[in-house]
Structure 1
Amino acid sequence: WLGLDWDEEVRQSTRLDRYREAADRLRAAGRLYPCYETPEELELKRRLQRAQGRPPVYDRAALSLDAQERGRLEGEGRRPHWRFLLDRSTAVAWDDLIRGPQHVDPGSLSDPVLVRADGSFLYLLPSSVDDIALAVTHVIRGEDHVTNTGEQIQLIEALEAVPPAFAHFPLLRGAGGAPLSKRAGDLSIRALREGGAEPLAIVSLLACLGTGRSPEAVRDLDELVAQFDLGAFSRSSAIFDPEELDRLDARLLHHREYEEIAARPEMAGVTRELWEAVRGNIGHLAEVQDWRRIVEGPIEPVIEAEDRDFLARAAELLPPVLDKEGWRAWTAALKKQTGRKGRALFRPLRLALTGREAGPEMAALLLLIGRGKAQARLKGEKA
């Protein structure tokens, strides 16, 4: 829906043999070791470390187990999970394409679990194996994965491959400054789509958040690709403001040609003339159907008591030809005969003809409504 397609589909469920082979290579190299602690035992260790003012880092107790002790634990029914042995002799450093030079001290990290006791794999091993196999050149993600990067670089190097380039975006914040959360369901792509957001407005906004550029709606993704530069993004958190998205939606629609959107489901029954008349006054495409119903009718005209005589006279003076010249001549005659002008002249006409206080240019709408319906509405009749 967003126009973001993929070049290849990769299913990890069909690549399990690759992950097992990689795990075997790590075991043979002494970089993957078995651990037998239960979740409860690990939690107790972490609590004790915190109580002593130490970081909750795995103590590598399993490395001191000999074959006899491992056999005893397995005889008790314990099945090992497998941890990757981090090299703690030096910091892991990389040049992040957004954050600049970065380093992680492996001594501050627990050796990550790569294989669960049931033989299934956690995120780190499959993602690293796939990055190598697919020749991934760039990993672009949120800054909450910066710590993972040190582990991932060591793991890829342990598999005798060259790590990709990494870029970590600051996490988005809402208009109030609070971090965006997965619980903010109204900002999911599904919710935005159901709410009428334009896909190009979404990608236009996301592509410039954090760059300092003012968001501008683009006509296609190629335009965004040409503008994209990782070096333009700030390390500071960007603000995602739904109101800015609404403004982009509206600007995008205001310049959309009929041919570009005629096939959209929201455009069912909408003519070129109607689209060109109303596109400058809608915020979401679905709103065009509101104006179609107003033009086609029937609607109840809104007539205030003090305007009845004025509107009756307007019905009498309605010209036979309802084009822009006809609109100008009609309103000029009304102004001359009733003495009304400005809001007192135009507001009652709009309310009677459309039932709304505001909207598109009335000259264009009047032509679409037609003389018969217009005359009936001016007389207070449903039409």
Structure 2
Amino acid sequence: MNKKPIIISLISVLLFSVLFGYSLVFSGVYAFKGITLSFKSSNNIYLDSGNLYKTKLIFKSGKSLENKKITSRCNIFSKFIQKKDDLYLFELQYLDNTCRDNKISFRDEENEIIFMTSLNIHSELSIYQKLLDLNDEKLQAFHSILKNKINIFSQYKTYSKDLGISHYSFLKKKRTLKELIYTYSVVNNIVEKRTEKYIVPIVGEKISTNANKIPNALRSYRSDYTDGVHHGWDVGDTFGEKVVAIDDAIVMRVVSNFDYSDLQKIKKSETLTKEEKLRNLDLLRGNQVWLKTTRGDVIFYSHLSNIFTGIEEGVLVKKGEPVGTVGVSGVPEKNYADYHLHFAIHKNPYNIARAGKYDIEDYMKWDWYYKGKDKNYIIEDQSNLFEGN
């Protein structure tokens, strides 16, 4: 017996269920107060996709639904399309790409709910957040699965756009094909980007070979309230230099309101926990931007003097896009003038059970690149990580 197709099938089910909370199969039958939801062309809404922000639904009812509207807390548009016997075909469109409420319902003349069900609401951002937490092996497997499924479903691409109630199975298959193509485009972009090196975050600069400006350099003067180790690189020396994204990335965190009084929150004790030391170190970063790259790594940009308008949590940025400027925020000495960008890269542990579920403190606990490596190894190897070095 060939076990490979079985293994691939299991990977397919696992990845689709963990990443998107759905499977590419018939979604089931739901009944409520005499109304039955018999069919959905898809249980998924992709808010920022060109044509996947809508779905078709077939309801079975002994009472007419022709004059009913599907309602939601989100801004939606619903349209009755066709009736056949006791079946009613509706199209539903989400008009607000920021709303995440997934409940939809029918209401009677007294505004009482007579039917309710839910959909899976997705955005490009939410898909990226989950996919970026897959290692290369799982991402490549998912890439292959999607490609194979697209080949299987491609025969339904040419069916008429006007398919109605009598052809509901084709409606579903056409929609499945569109969802597969959409997801594949996102996965394929990540796969391609992962073959590229990171760029240096200040244009024209090179990554330092100075042993004091690379990961694992000692910072013994703060070892009583942090781990006393430099987690990243220092680059640049001019106040106001532009800092750019080292890769296509999601903005995960922005701290833009640093005040020197914040440093009073630093805890000092011989019994500090690892978590408390990490929080102390976070205060020393001052104004900062965190980016999650296509590799799933999280970059901490620290000591920024300014963060550009539009750089907000949840925004997708392109490689080389400016995010802020060099400064010294977070440095305890008020007259400190050694301007530089400090940036650390924390390596994704690729735990599929946590995909898309990490929080700020998790990112701080991830190991930084080259943790535990000696300076000679780092200086020799960092050219494999960054372009132009």
Q: Fold-level match, TM-score > 0.5?
A: no
> Which structure is higher in strand share?
2
Q: Scaled by the length of structure 2, what TM-score is found?
A: 0.27
Q: Scaled by the length of structure 1, what TM-score is found?
A: 0.27
Larger C-alpha radius of gyration, 1 or 2? 1
